[in-house]
Amino acid sequence: MHRVVHGGAGVHSATSEKEVKAALLGALAASETALDTVQSAIASLEDCGVLNAGRGSNLAFDGTVECDAAIMDGLTRDFGSVGAVSGIKNPISLALTILQHARTPDPLGRIPPMTLVSTGAHSFAASKTPHLLVPPDSLVSPRAKKQWATWKDRLSSAQDAATATDASSPMQDTVGAIVWDETSGNIASGVSSGGILLKYPGRIGEAAVFGAGCWAQTTHGKHRMACSVSGTGEHIIQTNLARRFGAALESEADPDVHAIVQRVLVDDFWLPSQSAGNPDPSAGVILLTTEEDGEGRERGRLWCGFTTPSFAIAYASPRCRPKAHILRRPPSIESRPADHPRVFVTAFPL
């Protein structure tokens, strides 16, 4: 199994680096299938309490936890997701259950859902996966509650209201995973998030939307890719960002992946978002592609691209021991004017 996880694109302080890396490394265990491994990896990140997913999620304006999550099978392109759901220990597990449920024919021929939100998602969990139900308050971490109280106080002050609207920028650390099972050939991806701090209750972000937060595909039976995206959900949804990477790779017989990641982040995300009035569009992507080596064997390669100051990632494979990094933009990119794309792209063999 080739496993890659991320802890989000944003701003990672030196004081948080150790615990974030530990959480990412702890999520790299392999399971039986690619889908199961994506689910277990993200569930581990949801449970760790230091990232914006599951327990530890940013709190909505009313002080509650509402989570989004999605998972996708790259062989069949089956998809399942949940949005704005409370009281679920592992939203990614519920998303997988929705994906699997859709594979069973309905006796009346009804079209099964691929996305469920709020109370509908909670009711589905109660009937299919009751072990996932937990008291909503159990998902509120001390760190998240402290941040919520701080920014809620600032929002209530007229002189601080303008700065409070930027509270989410360093705290959009959506988590995600991509997995390629070299034995079966399948590839899968997933994403999970508590959303932006002080969001309106009921808001859903890219982690619940088909084609926005994650994508996985197998083209012509051999070209495989999977990606998981982090950043500002509304902007990512508007550009259907994850699916854009898949479409760009699918359109070329011999794609230059580095150039494609750069182009999609700049032309399809950064420029349209800034033209719409968003001064500093935030997004990050982990993207796994397969390629043939000199001996005709299929190998995996990880690509990471982000528009934010930093991006937290970890990876492992049969040929690569587990590694974790807080990737940071080099000074040459960091120093560019605000109206120039500050996008950094790098790659790692797997």
Number of structural domains in the chain: 1
* 241 Rama class: left (phi>0) / alpha (psi -120 to 50) / beta: alpha
Residue 326, pLDDT > 80, answer: yes
> For residues 200 and 28, what is the distance between their CA atoms, to the nearest angstrom?
33
> For residues 217 and 77, what is the distance between their CA atoms, to the nearest angstrom?
6
Residue 192: name the closest of 211, 216, 175 by CA: 175
Name the one residue in this structure whose structure tokens are 């009921």.
Answer: 202
Catalytic positions: 174
List the structure tokens of 263.
Answer: 């182009």
Task: Work out the percent of the chain whose per-residue pLDDT is above 70.
Answer: 95
- Give me the numbers of helices (H) and strands (E) for the chain, helices first please: 11, 13
182 in Cβ contact with 2 (< 8 Å): yes
Convert the pLDDT of each residue in 85-95 to its tens digit: 999 999 999 99
Residue 236 structural domain: 2-349
> For residues 290 and 28, what is the distance between their CA atoms, to the nearest angstrom?
19
| Amino acid at position 105, single letter | P
List the structure tokens of 246.
Answer: 């898949």
Name the one residue in this structure whose structure tokens are 């009035």.
Answer: 277
Domain CATH number, residue 132:
3.60.20.30
3-class state of residue 65 by DSSP? coil
Strands 115-117 vs 79-85: parallel, antiparallel or unpaired: parallel
Residue 148: name the closest of 208, 192, 193, 195 by CA: 195
Residue 129, pLDDT > 60, answer: yes
> For residues 150 and 146, what is the distance between their CA atoms, to the nearest angstrom?
6
> For residues 266 and 281, what is the distance between their CA atoms, to the nearest angstrom?
10
Q: Picking from 56-60, 226-230, 335-339, which range would have the lowest pLDDT averaged per residue?
A: 335-339
The secondary structure element, H or E, covering residue 230 is strand 223-231
> For residues 48 and 27, what is the distance between their CA atoms, to the nearest angstrom?
9
Convert the pLDDT of each residue in 137-191 to its tens digit: 999 999 999 999 998 888 887 545 455 444 444 455 789 999 999 999 999 999 9
